[in-house]
Structure 1
Amino acid sequence: MKFGKITLFVLAAFALVFSFILFLGSFSQTGTSIPVWFSIILAGIGFIMIFFATRAEPPAETGQNVTVNIDLPGQVGMDTIKCKSCGGVLSEKDIKLVAGAPVVTCPFCGTTYQLSEEPKW
């Protein structure tokens, strides 16, 4: 919570507690009379502070969509990718980027493994 909200809640609590004490003290028979309206105004100020402290803030962004585009240099020949377990042909929709590494899941046997690029030398 922000400092301003905490301050408003604390001040509202003090205002409500003191308004209740003053309300009870206004009916004392000791001769000193505290007006009832003063405690009612103090309670109203406390409730107004609670209202402003609980007002809704603008909603924060819930999430971000991340799009990864891979630019390949020059001419790139695409070979068919086959599953290491069952030999099924994998398509580009079966490859996902997980924690920065390409991971493929075979739609036929359900095997999941990380793709690795082997050196061309």
Structure 2
Amino acid sequence: MSAWKIIALIVGGILIFFGVLFIWGSTGDQGSLGWIPIGVITVGIGLALVFLATRKSAKPDETNVTLKIDLPGNVNMDAIKCRSCGGTLKPEDIKMVAGAPVVTCPYCHTTYQLTEEPKW
């Protein structure tokens, strides 16, 4: 949370507190009916500050990264088989974990990291 949001929340809370005190004080023995509008305005400003400080910003905080790979020549995908049971794996079974492709077999539930064998 940024510094201005924290300051706005603190100031808004103080304004709401004193606004309620003004409204409450107007009902006392030495109170004046002129304190009620001051209290209502103070509470309204405090609520507006709290609202502005707590609403979401237009920009999301998370960043999505798209990696595009340019492969040389025509590349065909071979069918991937599970090392344990030989079941056919689908692209949905492969996930990136800590930067490495990891596959979970939907048949035998074996999990292992995919490695690429050298081409030579």
TM-score category of the 2 structures, normalised to the smaller one: 0.5 to 0.7
Aligned to 2:46: 50
Give percent identity, aligned residues only: 46
For 1:16, the equivalent position in structure 2 comes to 20
Equivalent residue number for residue 36 of structure 2? 40
Which runs of 5 or more residues in structure 1 are unaligned? 27-33
Report the 3-state secondary structure (helix = DSSP H, G, I; strand = E; otherwise coil) of the residue aligned with 1:96.
strand
In the alignment, what sits opposite 2:103? 104
How much does 1:105 deviate? 1.5
Matched-pair contact (CA < 8 Å) for 1:8–1:53 = yes
Compute the displacement of 1:15 (Å): 3.3
Deviation at 1:14, TM superposition (A): 2.3
The answer to whether the 8 A contact 2:15-2:43 is kept is no
Deviation at 1:70, TM superposition (A): 3.7
Cα RMSD for the two superposed structures: 3.1
Displacement of 1:6 in angstroms is: 1.9
Q: How many residues align?
A: 113
**Counterpart secondary structure, 2:115:** coil
> For residues 74-117 of structure 1, what are the alpha-carbon distances to aligned partners after superposition, in whole Å with 9 as ceiling and x for unaligned?
45464432211112232333222223211112122121111122
Residues 14-40 of structure 1: CA deviation (Å, up to 9, x unaligned): 2332443454242xxxxxxx5x22221
**TM-score calculated relative to the size of structure 2:** 0.66
Q: Which amino acid aligns with 1:53?
A: L
Name the SS of the counterpart of 2:28 in structure 1: helix
Match of 1:94 in 2: 93
The alignment's TM-score, normalised by the length of structure 1, stands at: 0.65
Query: How far has the Cα of 1:67 moved from its partner?
Result: 4.8
Counterpart CA distance in 1 for 2:44 and 2:76 is 70
Which has more radius of gyration? 1
Does structure 1 retain, via aligned residues, the 8 Å contact 2:94–2:103? Answer: yes
Distance 1:16 1:78 in 2: 69
